[in-house]
Chains A and B, each alone.
Chain A
Amino acid sequence: MEIFIKGTGIISPQKTTDNSVFLNDIVTHEKDVLNCVEPSYKEYINPIQLRRMSRLIKMSICASKVCLKEAGIENPGAIISGTGLGLVEDTEKFLNSVLDYKEQFLTPTSFIQSTHNTISGQVAIALQCFNYNNTYSHRGFSFESALLDAMLLIHDKDAENALVGGFDEITEQHHSILKKTKWVKKEKVNHLDLLHYKTPGTVDGEGVSFFALTGKREEGTYAQIKNISTLYKPKDFKEIENHIEKFLAENGVSKNDLDLVVLGLNGNTDTDGIYYHLTENYFNTNYAYFKHLCGEYHTVGAFALWFGVKCIKHQTVPEIAIFNKQTFTNKPIKNVLVYNHFKNINHSFYLLNQ
């Protein structure tokens, strides 16, 4: 498909808001969750509005503005976002009040802000954008659905361009719940060494990522998104391999054409196996990984997309993200496959092109 990324706005546990740099100053987090490095919002949001907004709304409005500014788009043809859990802070606030005060003395603000479509709606209000507006919430397919929707809109000429975002936040309360499940590591971890623990579970992260998509290759374009594909509950490694083979073939690429494969390794020994399998038995190229920098969350696929297109734009893979340090070879980065999965349930693939 002729879809191009023209701008990005990324707020993550790393310093990613400044689009001129690419992971040149790595942030180490001491807590056992990776929270976003928040920019100064003053430049983007007026102080009266700022006071009323919850953290995720602030981050989203800011990231969307950074993105559109870079893309030189004032009013996008569509605003589409994806989120796994929506506005967790507002949801907890309202839920705790309902339960603690036994359904009495409640105020509506946190309820109003707790629906998943708040972000797409608030961004539309900020931009006075009356165009297509949608929100997806489906685990590891939340952002991927939003991206696919936007790509189809542009491809079908229903929109000239689109603003697409992924957002998820981690709160202390929600982290305390996740710690009781098998998805978070029990031991204290240094996130930069995430792959060295060889234990079940991963580290919680969060992030807000917006992209400006257009149907035209223009000056300053990051990369082309040739296509996207999803795979739901594959039964074994072979099915994943076959899926990749077919996806690449349908887009006129063979695995030998890939200059870089970006992998969603998250340090969970229960679910990382497929990544090791593919690097050892299937692909033969350079590999990068990124979740030790941003943590795991439902819409981390948006961070993965950003990471992939940044590698293409800057023609470099940051040292800290190189997976095959021993065998890494410097070469032009033209064709990139990004492969990420959420709990071995939702597998997603993006094929990117210079």
Chain B
Amino acid sequence: MSKRIFITGIGIISGIGNNVEETLKSIRIGKSGVGKITHLETLHKDTIPVSEVKYTNDELIALLGLDSKEPFTRATLMGIMAASEAVKSAGITNMRDKRTGVISGTTVGGMDKSEQYYHDFLTTGEHIRYIESHDCGDSTERIADYINVKDFVSTTSTACSSAANSIMFGARLIKNNRLDRVIAGGTESLTKYHLNGFNTLMILDRELCKPFDENRKGLNLGEGAAFVVLESEDIVKETGKKVFCELTGYGNACEAFHQTASTPEGRGAYLAMKKALDRSGLRADQIDYINAHGTGTENNDISEGRAIEALFGKTPPPVSSTKSFTGHTTSAAGGVEAILSILAIQHNIIFPNMNFQQQMKELSFKPITHLMENVKVDHVLSNSFGFGGNNSALIFSRV
């Protein structure tokens, strides 16, 4: 049983960049991806800001050398971009020499195409091939096929904690010697479906989101994909390859409170973080940075903030939400933020929680508001909480 799980590759695409390098650059210069909708066809185009991946589907298809007649959804295309980058950065040349899996998280899956062609599905049957790409498994399989993975494929669907749960499941499969390597993360495209869904819940900020701010008004949706390559201790020893960091902790707990709300004290958030910390064997004071879920909704930021206080005390380690950069990429968020957490360790930086002005009266702490460079970042806690009370936390550690 491989005791340790290493991150050997990373890949990301979001509103702030099409790869790791661009992402880091945007963060360094404080450039947010949130702005006016340009790709998604919706009534809310001019009123609800989101963070979109800059490429169109056609551009992504051309870039990846894919057959435009195939029913590719946007989740698939973004997923292939990020997963390919991760594989490349892990220096994998032969995918079939080790037992390898792809585990992706997605919730709306191929809804972007279904909502576009639904009328045709029901009437003439035109575009019916897109019904084959409607389900969550489709994007995962197309990603696996593109990067030549065959041994295992699976998809988690726990709303906004999906990608974190994919990473966790991947790590456990390696620990149990069922796989040697897993490309794990998530992908989610913007759809009219969930933009309107979140809108009916009245949790979308009409301006730039302000996580952990007293006057926060909700979240900005985003889209993107992000994958890490998890490899066993054996592979790393055998090849002597460079690793980004180690996944030392993970925890999953359920809020069991309400389908779309969390308890004011953040019970589920606390339990998930506590489990992750216990598994890592680290003390709370060893965590150097908390990459918060921090959506910017009234409810999340109180719950999460209180749970952080309960576990870390009134003066917790630096906390920030990077959703003011990327928007809330829902099912991909756990992956996007895993990558940012890894970059924090790699570059000794802590990211600013943009748009923050006023401290929440309920909390004893404020988030980090400026880029911190050349700081000690050895252990990062990354939170991902979802609808349905699905709370997950991951801990990444310097090797």
Contacts and interface: CB of A to CB of B under 8 A. Distances in A.
Nearest to B102: A232
Contacts of A156: 172, 175-176
Interface stretch (A66-74, A123-131, A309-317): A123-131
Contact of A345 (B141, B151, B173, B257): B141
Interface in B108-125: 109, 111, 114-115, 118-119, 121-122, 125
B193 A98 contact: yes
B252 interface: yes
Contact of B122 (A118, A132, A173): A173
A115 B106 CA distance: 10
B41 to A, nearest CB: 10
B284 interface: no
Contacts of B173: 152
Interface string B136-154: 1110110011000011111
Contact of B256 (A99, A124, A152, A176): A124
Contacts of B44: 103
B259 A122 contact: yes
Given A117-B387, A121-B389, A134-B252, A112 B131 contact: no
A99 B119 contact: yes
A133 B254 contact: yes
B268 A130 contact: yes
A117 B390 contact: yes
A137 B252 contact: no
B176 A133 contact: no
B62 interface: no
B118 A108 contact: no
B196 A177 contact: no
Contacts of A298: 135
| Size bracket of the A interface | 35 or more
Contacts, number: 191
A129 B256 contact: yes
Interface stretch (A21-29, A33-41, A138-146, A185-193): A138-146
Given A95-B115, A117-B390, A130-B268, A136 B252 contact: no
A331 to B, nearest CB: 33
Given A132-B252, A133-B253, A138 B140 contact: yes
B155 A138 contact: yes
A337 B53 CA distance: 46
Contact of B157 (A135, A149, A181, A230): A135
B43 A177 contact: no
B266 to A, nearest CB: 12
Nearest to A98: B196
A128 B192 CA distance: 33
A112 B157 contact: no
Given A111-B200, A121-B387, 20 more contacts: A94-B197, A98-B115, A98-B192, A98-B196, A115-B107, A115-B388, A116-B157, A122-B388, A124-B256, A128-B256, A131-B253, A132-B253, A135-B158, A138-B137, A138-B140, A149-B172, A177-B128, A232-B150, A232-B151, A346-B137
